Every structure is written in structure tokens, then in C-alpha cells.
Amino acid sequence: MTAGGPMPVPGEKYDGEWLRVHPASPFVRGWVALAAIGYFFGRDTFERMLQGEPLVGGQIAGRAPWLLAGGALVLVLAVLGFILSWYFTRYQVAEGYVRVNTGFLFKQQRQARLDRVQAIDIVQPLLARIFGLAELKFEVADAGESAVRLAYLRMEDARQLRATILARASGVELEPGRPEAAAPEAPEQQVLQVPPSRLIGSLLLSEQSIFVVLGGVASVVLSAVTENSGFFLYLIPAALGLIAAYWSSFHKGYNFTAAVSPDGIRLRYGLLDTQAQTLPPGRIQALRVVQPPLWRIFGWYRMQVNVAGYGAAGSDGQGGSRTTLLPVGEIGDVVNMLALVLPDPGTADPLRVFQCGLDGLGSDGGFVTTPRRARFLAPLGWRRNGFAATDTALLMRSGRWWRQLVVVPHQRTQSMALHQGPLARRFRLADLVLHTTAGPVLPRVIQADAGTALALFDAQAARARAARKRQTSEHWLAQVTPLVSPVEPAPLVEPAEAGTLVETVDLDPHQPPKLASSPGEPGWRGDELDQRVSPRAPNATQQEGPQRG
């Protein structure tokens, strides 16, 4: 494991010196190519061995040395290429930038500003995990491709580097004399964990299960009616696809934990490949909470986010899991995560407002719905479609069956548009679309009264402007944004277990100013949650403990 040299001494590393990734990384990355070469040249020999024939066939016996030489040459070239690519890949963290140089024929130099970081992921594919290596992905706002990928570092190096980058990006003042010293990792506190039983349950009750049941019933009926068992044959590829989909969801959601640290929200998940995402404060552009119809039985919700660096879901094959903030959770988990994303809910009674957004109807909680005259346009949804604006965010809810609540913080609004088609004009309605960065969340106020929508359009522009003026710095510690304090009352966070506080570092420059605890201010006061939430989900708060223990 420690083949890369001496252990890093905190404070000695990352002070502007150029470093290389772990020497084994090209082999971990390119093991498929090596395996292919081995397979290509080894298969024939192996087959002959099994059949008891001489190792080299008669007709090619004369050419065997050439073939061997060719194979060896390919192997040597591949290994040489690996070594060269490793040798010429170097990275540096200094002066507010992270720089990576790659390539020996076509050189590429990349640099990204640390304070523009949108997210940092540490990814461990299975093979890398076996070797104790990890890949570090540094995301800036370019919707898709990672700005900087360092594959692979030793796990503790990756964590150290992440801590350093996040500390620099947050604008924390380390030891004044040595501005380039490495930062200690910020302490973190676990907020929630998704037990595997709940994950399996959520998959069984998910949308695709409905299609499985429908498809199975349809094929049974069809084969019974037509007396042709051939229909079952068509089910085989469908079943394989579904198993793959279920497996992928299970694999990505397995052991999902969320923790909070001064560096941001930290999500960890994965069965074979593990991933640890860090979303610094204020990097979440939009958020949605959805509830498929069958999840209503257990009161489960799913949360997804738009983050500028992650791009649209599925753009790189794993966007779907990276944009998931909570694969399945109960109302208590949802409120906990909301409190992390939106530390200041901007209303006096956030639990009621958000509860109404999740499953309310009509004007409860200050929501403005589609006017009654338009009930023929949306016979089911007109009492559900609605919006509510708090001081810090706009809440948009929709969907009677597939319930959805979209939350967009005011300072994250990019631009807005009012839309009105001919039918909507007859009913004096309008849609308000909020533009946000690419991702699974598409904020839209559906079928609001035209006058209301226009008023919201103006008010929202003003609110976004005011919110932007408050937020001036990319360094999040410089902003007066409380982050950790909303969780500190922590009635929902289960009592401290071993490992809840992952690390306690004495030198703790990360600890943000505790601001939100002042009693008069609106905040997520957890003590109300028990009363508010309990009628619907009686054991929401104590759910996790016994299952996990």
C-alpha cells in the first residue's frame, strides 16, 4: 500500500510542489487492456494445454518466436505507455489554483480556480478499492466533464488533498505564517443513513416495479389467450434489463450516508464501487423532493439536486446517482437534508410550509394554487399545483399522484421566463419557468393565475437581486451563512454512536461562526417536528436506530 514513498507529513505536502499520482494507477486504470492482451495471446496456448497437445501448434511452430516476440513487444509498449503517462501526469495545488499536467506527446495543462469548486468527489472503483487507491474529481461549473480528475491517489492522500482544496476554497485562514500548509480534515457529523431494508423496499415499490407487474400480467394473459408460450421468451431480455436496473439502483444507493461538515454536505454510497461526494455550502442550485405513488404507503421520499459541475443526469453514465441527495428517506430525513441545503428557511414555520409543499393541497402553508376557474385544465392537480415564496427560497409543488416539491434558493435563480399559450390565455393563466443549471430539477410554476404569475415574476426578480447582493464572495466562510448550527439541536440525528464524530481535530479553523442559534431568528427548529410530523409518520424520528443496530 505504501509503495509511493514516505507517509505524507501534514504541513509538508501540497505547498506548491508538483506531485505525481500513485505509480500503480495506470495499471489499475488500464487493467482491461492488459487483460485483453493476455487473453489474446494466452487463449490459444491454454486451449492446447487443456487438450494435451504440444504448447505450440505444428504449423506455426516455426513462427512461434516471432509471435512471442510480437506479444512481448505489445506488452512492453503498453507498460511503457503506462509508465510514461504516469511519469508525465503531475499536479499541484498552489496560489488558489489546482493544476494538472498530462501527456508526453500532446501535452495538456489544466488549471482550475479553487474558489470556483462546485463539488469534490472521491471515487473508488472496485479494483482501486482493493489496492487502497481512490480517484479525486474536482468539479467546476461546466456541466458535465470534471475539471480535474486525479486517478489514482492513495486514499489518505486523496482525503488530505480534498481537505486542503476545500480549506483553501472556503477562504479559511490557516497558520498565518505558512499560507500553503496542508489543512486538517474538517470534522463531520453524520446526519442520516439509509438502511438496506428500506432501499430494497423502495426499489420494490418504485415505478419500474409497476411496469414489471403490468408486463408480467400482460404476458400471462396473452399467452393464456393465444395458447402460445412464446410470449415468455420475450420476457427474458426485459427481465435481464430490469435486473440490471434494479442492481444498479441498489448498488448506487447501498449504504447511503449523509454527513455535514464545515466543508459542506458529504454523501457516501456504493456497494462495490464507493463514492464520497462533497458539496460545499451554497453549491446546490435547485432541489426537488419527489414521492412516487406507492412510496406513500411508507411515507418515503427521494431528493435530487442540480449542481453546476454535475451536469444533466446520465450525461456521463453516473449523473443519475451523483445528483441524488437522498435515494429514499422518511420525512425526518427530508427535513434534515433541507435544513442542510437551506440553512435559513426564511419563514417562521418552516416545517409546516415544507410539509404542505410535500403533501398539502389548497392554500395551506401559504401556497398559491391554480385558480378554481382552471380546474378543467387540471382536474386532479389544480389544488396541488402551486408555489410559495419564503424569504430565502421559492417552493414549487405539483403532482397529485407523483408528488413533487421543487425548492430554488433566491440567490441561485439565473433567469426567469413567463410563458403563456393560447389555452392558458383563455383561462388567464401563465407558467413561470426558473432557469437553473443543467440537472434533473426543472423548476416551473404551473398554471398560476396570470396576474399572480406576473407579480411573482417581478417579486422574484427583486428577491433574487437582493439575495445576490447579500452573497458577494465565493469564499463561503466569508459569507455570513450559518451551516452547521441548524443540525446542532439535532433531535433527528440519532444519539451519538461510535463513529458519528468521525474525527475531532484540535486545530479547527473550519468551525464557522455560530450564527443561527440565536433564538429569535427563523430556523429549522427541530422540536416542532415531532408534533408536526408524527401524525403522518409516527416513528419517523426513531426509525433508523433499531434497524441499524
Partner 1 sequence: MHTAAIDPPGITWLRVSPKYVTVRLVEWALGNLVVLGVLSLPLLFVLLGWWTWPPRWLAVAVPAFMLVLALWRLVLIPRQVRAIGYAERDDDLLIRGGIFFQRVMVVPYGRMQYVDISVGPVERRLGLCTLKLHTASASTNASIPGLPAEEGARLREQLSARGEARLAGL
Q: Which residues sit at the interface with partner 1, rule CB under 8 A?
A: 118, 141, 143, 283, 285, 308, 411-422, 425, 428, 430, 433, 435-438, 442, 450, 453-454, 457-458, 461, 464-465, 468, 471, 474
Minimum distance from CB of 282 to partner 1 (Å)?
A: 8
How far is 286 from 303, CA to CA, in rounded Å?
11
> Cβ closer to partner 1: 468 or 548?
468
Minimum distance from CB of 462 to partner 1 (Å)?
A: 9
Asked if residues 426 and 450 have their Cβ atoms less than 8 Å apart, the reply is no
Minimum distance from CB of 137 to partner 1 (Å)?
A: 18
Minimum distance from CB of 118 to partner 1 (Å)?
A: 7
> Cβ closer to partner 1: 127 or 416?
416
Minimum distance from CB of 447 to partner 1 (Å)?
A: 13
How far is 545 from 541, CA to CA, in rounded Å?
9
Looking from the CA of 285 toward its CB, the CA atoms found within 13 Å total 25
Which residues have CB under 8 Å from 189's CB, separation 6+?
Answer: 259, 260, 261, 484, 487, 493, 500, 501
> Cβ closer to partner 1: 141 or 192?
141
How far is 14 from 194, CA to CA, in rounded Å?
35
Asked if residues 137 and 149 have their Cβ atoms less than 8 Å apart, the reply is yes
Residues in the chain: 549
Which residues have CB under 8 Å from 540's CB, separation 6+?
Answer: 299, 330, 331, 332, 533, 534
> Counting Cβ atoms within 10 Å, is residue 462 exposed (0-12), middle (13-18) or buried (19+)?
exposed
> Cβ closer to partner 1: 153 or 307?
307
> Cβ closer to partner 1: 422 or 549?
422
**In the chain, what is the straight-line distance between the N-terminal and C-terminal CA atoms, in Å?**
32
Strands (E), 466-545: none
Chain-centroid distance of CA 4 in Å reads: 31
Residue 501 DSSP class: B
> Cβ closer to partner 1: 42 or 451?
451
Asked if residues 179 and 534 have their Cβ atoms less than 8 Å apart, the reply is no
Strands (E), 161-282: 189-193, 257-261, 264-269, 274-279
Residue type, 541: T
> Cβ closer to partner 1: 435 or 536?
435
Minimum distance from CB of 415 to partner 1 (Å)?
A: 4
> Cβ closer to partner 1: 86 or 476?
476
How far is 396 from 7, CA to CA, in rounded Å?
51
CA distances from 432 to 39, 77, 409 (A): 58, 59, 15
> Cβ closer to partner 1: 287 or 464?
464
> Cβ closer to partner 1: 411 or 534?
411
How far is 433 from 449, CA to CA, in rounded Å?
14
> Cβ closer to partner 1: 157 or 449?
449
Residue type, 143: A
How many CB atoms are located within 10 Å of the residue 176 CB? 6
How far is 486 from 373, CA to CA, in rounded Å?
41
Residue 55 DSSP class: S
Secondary structure class of 231 (helix, strand, coil): helix
Residue 12 DSSP class: T
Residue linked to cell 479553487: 114
Minimum distance from CB of 150 to partner 1 (Å)?
A: 23
> Cβ closer to partner 1: 113 or 178?
113
> Cβ closer to partner 1: 4 or 319?
319
Residue linked to cell 456541466: 143
How far is 524 from 342, CA to CA, in rounded Å?
9
C-alpha cell at 65: 518466436
Q: Sign of the C-alpha dihedral, residues 61, 66, 69, 75?
A: negative
Minimum distance from CB of 398 to partner 1 (Å)?
A: 18
Minimum distance from CB of 97 to partner 1 (Å)?
A: 17
> Counting Cβ atoms within 10 Å, is residue 518 exposed (0-12), middle (13-18) or buried (19+)?
exposed
